[in-house]
Homo-oligomer: A and B are copies of this chain.
Amino acid sequence: MKEFDLISRYFSQQTAKRKDVVLGIGDDCALLAPAENQHIAVTTDTLVAGVHFPENTSPRAIGHKAVAVNLSDLAAVGAEPTWISLALTLPNVDQEWISEFSIGVFELCEYYNVQLVGGDTTQGPLSITITAQGIVPKSKFIRRSTAKAGDWLYVTGELGDAALALQNVQGKVGLAESVKGQVFEQLDYPKPRVLAGQALRDYATSAIDISDGLLADLAHICKASEVGAKVILENVPISAAMLETLGREKAIELAVSGGDDYELLFSVSEDNKVGMETALSNLGIPHTCIGQLNRQETITTVLDGEKVILNGQGFEHFAESVE
């Protein structure tokens, strides 16, 4: 495989040209000159065909998603995305595929002024690894481990549409034509919450992006911060499409357990609640309070005032009410 030809042909066409890139693609390394007073955030995510996206996903969607999942990690720490490296493993050289894929990669890069600074093209089973980097002012990095009991728990956007689309691909659920477009857009072209992440630098006590599912990712925050949480399930934001397709309980179940949302889950102290809500509202970013952190060692889920447990087949209701 003529990796040099491939790279030069499709991946040199980007229009993003950052001033902090001293040398881009084409040498053994790229050379970056980050501004002083900034820290660098770095993250890596791999997408494997058949594991992270259905085999028949369009190449443009694959390119978009490979960038989006990495920018979402940068958003979760409050970083401004700046550079990516792309490792692309392809079973064969399909020029149309590569062209479409590169369009998907560059759409998001150009929107956020992120420059592709290097990569490697190899032959093998289809997979994409992107390492994304961003900059964040010193001491403004949002961690998972700094949430406090008493902080309020929020999510951006609506949860579950991507998981619903995946269930449709897997033949587990039918979808009305009227909702297909919306839920597949969420699965194939997730929008990383880049601006929300940067806005939250001044307010959030912790943040994580929801890639594994709301409750799984909340567990990461709780473990890292040594706190518990109570989640009010009826407050979890779900789309009208979800509600219509699955009914209320099943929709909530998928919204809290499905992955691939790439919304942000974050905590904010009582004192910063109003400031945060104003900041996100000014940016037009939907956000919903879904619960509160506490001093317990568990995550409690409450539906209509009753404690419930998600057991794999659905919600198990407990008669005990919660305070």
A29 CB contact (under 8 Å) in B28, B30, B76: B76
A89 CB contact (under 8 Å) in B23, B43, B48: B48
Contact A73 B29 (CB under 8 A): yes
The reply on A289 being an interface residue by CB < 8 A is no
Cβ contacts A1-29/B at 8 Å (1 or 0 each): 00010000000000000000011001111
CA distance A14 to B36 in the complex (A): 29
Closest Cβ of chain B: how far from A73's Cβ, in Å? 4
Cβ contacts A45-83/B at 8 Å (1 or 0 each): 111111110000000000000000000011011010001
Chain B residues with CB under 8 A of A209: 28
Chain A interface helix/strand/loop/mixed: strand
Closest Cβ of chain B: how far from A290's Cβ, in Å? 19
Given contacts A44-B131, A85-B131, whether A33 and B138 have CB atoms under 8 Å apart is: yes
- Among the stretches A140-148, A181-189, A235-243, the one at the interface with B is A140-148
Name the residue on B nearest A216 (C-beta). B4
Chain B residues with CB under 8 A of A87: 44-46, 87, 129, 131
Total chain A interface residues with beta-carbon distance under 8 A = 61
Name the residue on B nearest A77 (C-beta). B29
List 9 additional A-B contacts (Cβ < 8 Å) besides A42-B117, A44-B87.
A26-B224, A27-B224, A29-B134, A31-B41, A31-B141, A33-B138, A44-B85, A48-B89, A48-B125
Contact A77 B122 (CB under 8 A): no
Q: Nearest 9 A-B pairs (CB), nearest first?
A: A48-B124, A131-B131, A29-B41, A28-B76, A129-B129, A44-B85, A87-B129, A125-B125, A32-B40
Q: List 27 A-B contacts (CB under 8 A).
A: A4-B220, A22-B39, A23-B141, A26-B224, A27-B143, A27-B224, A28-B77, A29-B73, A29-B134, A31-B39, A31-B136, A36-B36, A40-B40, A42-B83, A42-B118, A42-B131, A44-B86, A44-B118, A44-B119, A44-B131, A46-B87, A46-B89, A48-B89, A51-B124, A87-B87, A89-B127, A131-B131
The reply on A157 being an interface residue by CB < 8 A is no
The reply on A150 being an interface residue by CB < 8 A is no
CA distance A73 to B22 in the complex (A): 17
Q: Which of A141-196 contact B (CB under 8 A)?
A: 141, 143-145
Chain B residues with CB under 8 A of A133: 42
